[in-house]
Structure 1
């Protein structure tokens, strides 16, 4: 979700993948088309059910969730662990269908409440034309924050990592662009545009919870987790306020609550990034089923995945 505003979406690679990529793309398109025949609330529930009962077992997600939980929470209650192997894919499925339902999703985002001291800090930054960086993880539905802040008049942009399937990548980018623009593809050109935007006083939205081979050996849930320092480095270089933010799914499974935390105090890039990891860990512990435990987050810790 790393974002940036240049009023133009960076073009994704032209679809030129193998036949199987094209086949998978059309399979997903057909499923999404069928789902769009039903009302939004039912569509989201079906998406959660499909990922929970069909995708997760076939793709090996349940095993990966267990591996991650055993690594960082070896004493977790077995019943809770098994619950999470089903609840995590369900949240992921709901999130995916939400992102591919931009019209209804935007309506949900618009009525989502904003809470926390970070909102005041962000407002001050906007008034003084100071740049800001909103940092989150694959938690709840991270794009609710971006959609809500754009609706509130904030100039928010994002950097995305292109998918391996170029056919699906084009469709994905065109869809999430309807939630808010611009989006910038990770790479030299996209990063240059992102920096230009940030220097102009824009607000950037970034996810930092994926394994980065060239990242710093920080910790997450008490285990080594290679983490990109880029958010903190950009904040230090361009005097941007660095704010942890989260869109927390509510009990009805459809609505959210946004929390904007206190800005991270200025320090070294490592100290500031560790503070972001700690903030996310606290939120995950409060809502264990809303983080993407499917990620291979702890490769440096010797996870077999």
Structure 2
């Protein structure tokens, strides 16, 4: 067994052990424990400094104390996301603690017969966006970033599998899926807030950030509506998924200008959400440099 495969197998064993522990604890206690653990460990990691620098740059109005308090809540949210992984199917089916706002925009899409993008960020309990897939059924496909470890990836997909909602990893397969869906009236659910080195430099909190262009390119070329959506944690363990009206699609006749304007509009939506609830965003990502 090679060193790499041994590492992957050890990671897989650790993940399975953690998931087993979470299942024994139950949904609420697993989320609370994982949140507590992340608050304790996260600030000791090197990426905590990156998160602090990112937040200070993007939200200069926050005091040093507010930054640290917000980062602690960010780690809590990230930990809870991990602790809830074994229970995602259960959470998606829990109508008592999960609400959808803006469901009329899902109906609007269904009635149109057209393709559509439903875009979000690594924000709050972002796995909740799978509710869109459940509501839209076979017409929807979620695009995600696959885990580097193939054993862990297969295990996650077993837990995530839903007969009514397909998941496709980013990359060549994801790109083909997006184009096919745009041509056939499908709905694509994806997170579009992370850095893509080969993307387009677009302002994000006042600094240029390399941004994946596929959503805007297809939206502008094929007149595909783009619906922003965000998942939030509420008091008492409740969650909310909000779907917003489709963004205006620029139509100046100059494609590069229109694509840039579309991406800028999407980034501005994310900026508003993050400013409202900065603890909900994934600040540990190297978004700008």
The question of a shared fold, defined as TM-score above 0.5 by the shorter chain, is answered with: yes
The equivalent position to 1:53 in structure 2, one of 40, 48, 59, is 40
**Equivalent residues of 1:102, 1:179 under 8 A apart:** no
Q: What residue is the counterpart of 1:8 in the other structure?
A: none
Determine if contact 2:105/2:244 at 8 Å carries over to the other structure. Answer: no
Deviates more, 1:220-229 or 1:171-180: 171-180
In structure 2, relative to structure 1, the CA distance for the partners of 1:178 and 1:52 (3 Å cut) is farther
Shift of 1:164: 1.8
Find out whether 1:150 has 2:136 as its counterpart: no
Aligned mate of 1:281, from 247, 259, 271 = 271
**Superposition pairs of residues 175-194 of structure 1, within 5 angstroms:** 175-178=159-162, 181-194=165-178
In 2: Cα distance, 1:250 partner to 1:125 partner: 27
Equivalent position of 1:19 in the other structure: 6
Q: What whole-Å deviation, never above 9, does each CA across 1:23-54 have from its counterpart, x for those lacking one?
A: 12211211210121022111111111122212
Alpha-carbon offset, residue 258 of structure 1: 1.8
Contact 2:133-2:164 within 8 A present in 1 as well: yes
User: Of residues 260, 280, 292 in structure 1, which corresponds to 2:243?
Assistant: 260
Runs of 5+ consecutive residues of structure 1 not aligned to the other structure: 1-15, 300-305
Q: Are the aligned partners of 2:23 and 2:86 in contact in 1 as well (CA < 8 Å)? A: no
Please say which of residues 262-271 and 130-139 is displaced more in the overlay: 262-271
Q: Aligned-residue CA RMSD in angstroms?
A: 2.2
CA contact (8 A) 1:132 1:202 kept: yes
Q: Which of 22, 27, 39 is the aligned partner of 2:26?
A: 39
The aligned counterpart of 2:194 is 210
Query: Residue 271 of structure 1: CA displacement?
Result: 0.7
Question: 1:17·1:167 contact (CA, 8 Å) conserved in 2?
Answer: no
User: Counterpart in 2 of 1:101?
Assistant: 87
**Post-superposition shift, 1:284?**
0.9
Match of 2:183 in 1: 199
Answer 1 or 2: higher relative contact order, Cα 8 Å, separation at least 6: 1
Normalising by structure 1, report the TM-score. 0.84
TM superposition outliers: structure 1 runs of 4+ over 3 Å? 108-111, 119-122
| Structure 2 residue corresponding to 1:114, chosen from 100, 110, 114 | 100
Q: Offset of 1:189 from its aligned partner?
A: 3.1
* Higher helix proportion (structure 1 or 2): 2
Q: Structure 2-normalised TM-score?
A: 0.89
1:280 to partner: Cα distance: 0.8
